[in-house]
């Protein structure tokens, strides 16, 4: 049996039990009220009869006679006629009048006149009113007994003694005449209450199944266990939103990546996240290269449906920082590989020339040609002062960047005060940082006026390398070039690598115990000089290894 069905039956049983108990209580209260009304009516009638002057005079006269009154005289007497009239008028079972010895002076059964009453009368003759249910010669009845005082005596007078009593009774049938109607009303109310309870239970069941998407509690428990196992076991950030955009699920990885705390229960749009992330959720699309803090994230938003009904969105967040940094390193390696390939090709061509001269038996020309090549060096890169960089791989990188910059109309050169004879121990990080700074500088120089130039300075400081990259562009016009920018903002937002490149370069440098910073912001008002960026990476040089003696 489904849980919702069990809850429905339990609710119905509870409602039925409450209704039954309530009906029994109301019925008992109704019966008690009818009994009280009958007793009150009997008492009021008895008091009225006991206060009638003619009744008081006649009862006092008969009680004063020491003998027993004659039944024949009583049958035709005024008390019997009066009692009979009252009985007919009020619908009582009986009206009995007795003297101070309990002898019946009036009774519905005339054959009992002149005889002693069948119930106790001493308490009444003591001056007390008695209301009770008793069994007499006419059966069970609700009766009230009231003392009759002599004429001129007030009820309760200590100097006056009752001269008789009047007893008025109602039969149970007349007392409970209204009971069937009362029971019918209570039954109708009970049926109505059960109907309301049934409707409420059905609506509650429908609401419950709608909220739980038809899942039973056992399934919800299993789903919750699986959710925690999955969310805490994966390396991706997961954020679940309801149809109103309220965060309902946010694992610890997502909080760390997004830099938020206690996100559950808050509107996603109010978490202070970059517009790209909010837009991804609004559009149900993916965004790559979203920069939050020092991380580069991939954000993928997907709407979730169940049974054709939209139940919210799920946001998957992946950390791409390491991947993008690796891409930067691979790009630098690719550039160096291209430069080395060009070197090999050029060297092979020179060897072919030398071999051709020797084959033609022109040794003097071959010797002169080879001597000229030794003097010129390995490859003629279009970079001034490139020989001040002692590491061959870094030379190749700078040469490759110079060729790429030349294709964009920018001349790349090495600063004349560059001094870096040592070999690099960690070429990838240095190449990634320098390559990114050079690419950004070339992009900025393209935006500047002629002549478009980029200058690189490389310096050794113990086992650290210090880099300086200057361009002839328009300079920086933002307060913080390392701050994240919306990648959809156009070229202006990508100058100097805003948003990803500079942040990754600084992250790589900081991992090496160094940093990337702005040396000079430049600007149009400063003779057209562009920006200058500096970088320092620790532990990337081999201080004990040199390609040549330091002059």
CA atoms within 13 A on the CB side of 43: 13
Per CATH, which fold does 380-546 belong to? Heat Shock Protein 90 (3.30.565)
pLDDT recorded at residue 30: 80
pLDDT recorded at residue 464: 92
Going residue by residue through the chain (551 aa), what tens digit of pLDDT does each one get? Answer: 666 677 777 878 888 888 888 888 888 888 788 788 888 888 899 888 988 888 888 888 888 877 777 777 788 888 888 988 988 888 888 899 988 888 888 988 888 888 888 888 888 888 888 888 888 777 777 889 999 888 877 776 667 788 899 999 888 766 566 677 777 887 888 888 888 888 888 888 777 777 776 666 767 666 665 666 566 656 678 888 888 888 887 877 888 788 888 888 888 888 878 777 787 777 777 776 676 766 777 788 888 777 677 778 888 888 776 666 666 667 666 766 766 676 676 677 778 888 888 888 888 888 887 777 665 555 556 688 888 888 888 888 888 888 888 888 999 999 999 998 888 887 778 888 898 899 889 988 998 888 899 999 999 988 899 999 999 988 887 777 876 555 444 444 444 444 467 877 888 888 888 999 999 988 755 455 789 999 999 988 876 544 444 43
The answer to whether the beta carbons of residues 416 and 457 sit under 8 Å apart is: no
Element (H, E) at 169: strand 164-170
Element (H, E) at 357: helix 321-359
Domains 3-175 and 239-318 belong to one CATH topology: yes
Q: Three-state SS for 210? A: helix
Token pair of 494, please?
């990508």
pLDDT recorded at residue 351: 80
Give the separation between CA 521 and CA 416, rounded to whole angstroms.
22
Q: Count Cβ atoms within 10 A of the Cβ of residue 531 and give its class: 0-12 exposed, 13-18 middle, 19 or more buried.
A: buried
278-282 long-range Cβ contacts below 8 angstroms, 24+ apart = 280/315, 281/241, 281/245, 281/313, 281/315
Report how far apart, in Å, the C-alpha atoms of 173 and of each of 109, 180, 218 are. Answer: 19, 11, 58
Q: Name which of 242, 267, 265, 240 is nearest 251 in CA terms.
A: 240
CATH superfamily of the domain spanning 3-175: PAS domain (3.30.450.20)
User: CATH 3.30.70.1560: does it fit domain 239-318?
Assistant: no
Residue 396 neighbours by CB distance under 10 Å: 25
Q: Three-state SS for 149? A: coil
Which residue's entry shows tokens 């965004």? 287
Can you name the residues that pair with 465 across neighbouring β-strands? Answer: 460, 537
Q: Name which of 135, 134, 156, 46 is nearest 98 in CA terms.
A: 46
Q: Three-state SS for 168? A: strand
The answer to whether the beta carbons of residues 98 and 115 sit under 8 Å apart is: no
pLDDT recorded at residue 301: 83
Q: Three-state SS for 363? A: helix
Give the separation between CA 258 and CA 277, rounded to whole angstroms.
10
The answer to whether the beta carbons of residues 396 and 424 sit under 8 Å apart is: no
Give the separation between CA 536 and CA 462, rounded to whole angstroms.
12
What are the residue boundaries of the structural domains of the chain, listed by start?
Answer: 3-175, 239-318, 380-546
Q: Count Cβ atoms within 10 A of the Cβ of residue 89 and give its class: 0-12 exposed, 13-18 middle, 19 or more buried.
A: exposed
Alpha carbon 73 to its chain's center? 95
Q: State the Cα angle at 445 between 443 and 448, rounded to 5°.
A: 120
Can you name the residues that pair with 535 across neighbouring β-strands? Answer: 467, 516
Taken as a whole, the chain contains a residue count of: 551
Give the separation between CA 156 and CA 364, rounded to whole angstroms.
164
Question: To the nearest 10°, the Cα dihedral for 421, 423, 424, 425?
Answer: -140
């Amino acid at each position: 049996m489904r849980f919702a069905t069990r809850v429905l039956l339990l609710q119905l049983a509870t409602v039925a039990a409450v209704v039954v108990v309530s009906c029994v209580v109301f019925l008992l209260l109704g019966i008690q009220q009818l009994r009280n009304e009958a007793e009150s009516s009997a008492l009021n009638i008895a008091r009225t009869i006991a206060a009638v002057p003619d009744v008081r005079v006649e009862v006092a006269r008969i009680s004063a006679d020491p003998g027993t009154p004659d039944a024949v005289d009583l049958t035709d007497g005024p008390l019997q006629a009066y009692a009979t009239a009252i009985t007919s008028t009020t619908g009582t079972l009986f009206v009995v009048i007795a003297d101070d010895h309990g002898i019946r002076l009036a009774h519905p059964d005339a054959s009992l006149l002149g005889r002693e009453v069948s119930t106790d009368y001493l308490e009444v003759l003591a001056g007390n009113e008695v209301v009770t249910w008793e069994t007499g010669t006419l059966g069970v009845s609700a009766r009230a007994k009231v003392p009759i005082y002599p004429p001129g005596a007030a009820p309760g007078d200590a100097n006056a003694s009752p001269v008789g009593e009047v007893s008025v009774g109602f039969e149970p049938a007349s007392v409970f005449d209204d009971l069937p109607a009362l029971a019918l009303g209570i039954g109708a109310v009970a049926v109505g209450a059960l109907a309301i309870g049934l409707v409420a239970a059905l609506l509650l069941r429908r609401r419950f199944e709608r909220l739980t998407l038809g899942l039973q509690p056992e399934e919800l428990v299993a789903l919750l266990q699986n959710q925690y196992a999955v969310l805490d076991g994966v390396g991706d950030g997961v954020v679940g939103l309801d149809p109103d955009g309220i965060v309902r699920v946010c694992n610890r990885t997502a909080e760390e990546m997004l830099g938020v705390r206690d996100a559950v229960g808050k509107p996603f749009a109010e978490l202070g996240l970059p517009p790209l992330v909010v837009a991804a959720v609004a559009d149900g699309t993916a965004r790559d290269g979203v920069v939050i803090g020092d991380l580069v994230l991939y954000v993928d938003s997907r709407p979730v449906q169940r049974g054709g009904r939209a139940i919210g969105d799920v946001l998957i967040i992946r950390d791409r920082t390491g991947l993008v940094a690796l891409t930067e390193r691979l790009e630098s390696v690719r550039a160096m590989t291209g430069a080395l390939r060009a070197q090999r090709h050029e060297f092979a061509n020179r060897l072919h020339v030398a071999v051709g001269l020797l084959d033609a038996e022109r040794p003097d020309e071959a010797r002169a040609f080879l001597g000229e090549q030794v003097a010129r060096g390995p490859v003629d890169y279009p970079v001034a002062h490139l020989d001040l960089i002692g590491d061959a791989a870094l030379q190749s990188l700078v040469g490759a960047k110079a060729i790429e910059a030349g294709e964009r109309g920018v001349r790349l050169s090495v600063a004349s005060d560059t001094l870096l004879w040592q070999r690099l121990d960690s070429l990838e990080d240095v190449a990634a940082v320098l390559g990114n700074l050079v690419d950004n500088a070339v992009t900025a120089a393209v935006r500047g006026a002629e002549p478009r130039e980029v200058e690189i300075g490389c310096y050794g400081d113990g086992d650290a390398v210090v880099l300086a990259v200057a361009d002839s562009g328009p300079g920086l016009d933002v307060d913080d070039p390392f701050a994240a920018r919306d990648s959809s903002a156009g070229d202006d937002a990508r100058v100097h690598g805003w948003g990803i490149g500079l942040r990754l370069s600084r992250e790589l440098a900081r991992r090496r115990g160094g940093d990337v910073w702005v040396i000079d912001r430049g600007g149009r008002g400063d003779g057209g000089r562009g920006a200058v960026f500096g970088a320092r990476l620790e532990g990337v040089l081999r201080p004990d290894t040199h390609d040549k003696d330091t002059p």
